[in-house]
Amino acid sequence: MKAQIEIACMLLAVSLGAQAGVTVKDAWVRGTVPAQKTTGAFATLTSSEDAKLVAVKSPAAKTVEVHESMMHEGMMHMQAVDSVALPAGKPVELRPGGYHVMLIGLTQPLETGGKVPLEFVIEDAKGKRSTVAAQAEVRPISSR
């Protein structure tokens, strides 16, 4: 009986260690005006092991892309990226002016105080994908 308990504990430890635990904190989306069809979403992601953010999904937009903003020759540029590294134990902030999520082709205007469902697609070091769901608060257009 003791041997069975020890084996069960070892199997549990192995199965728990095989998954990258990712937490999403402070998820928010910039509100929109009625005719606006694009906005940004932001959050802080922390992974328990090395992983990467490879996509984000949301029913609030027809297309959702992960982007990076950067200064180039004195002008701010934005481009889509394939992934964002999530080093083990280090918070990665998706924020205005850096890595962020673009919601393109919004299905409706986003009013302050509302919620937008986001699903972050994470890939661990072994290539296994999982998702982490979050409800992002819609903040005023002027939010930074």
144 lies in a domain? no
Domain span at residue 97 reads 22-139
77 lies in a domain? yes
- Percent pLDDT > 90 in the chain is 76
**CATH code assigned at 36:** 2.60.40.1890
12 lies in a domain? no
Residue with the two structure tokens 């930074």: 144
Query: Would strands 22-30 and 129-139 be described as parallel, antiparallel, or unpaired?
Result: parallel
Q: What is the pLDDT of residues 90-128, one digit of tens each?
A: 999 999 999 999 999 999 999 999 999 999 999 999 999
User: Is it the case that residue 50 has pLDDT exceeding 90?
Assistant: yes
Question: CA–CA separation, 81 vs 54, rounded Å?
Answer: 9
Question: CA–CA separation, 33 vs 43, rounded Å?
Answer: 22
Residue with the two structure tokens 């205007």: 109
User: Is it the case that residue 19 has pLDDT exceeding 90?
Assistant: no
Mean pLDDT of 18-45: 92
- pTM (two decimals): 0.83
Domain count for the chain: 1
Per the model's pLDDT, the better-predicted residue between 115 and 72 turns out to be: 115
What DSSP character marks residue 88?
Answer: B
2 lies in a domain? no
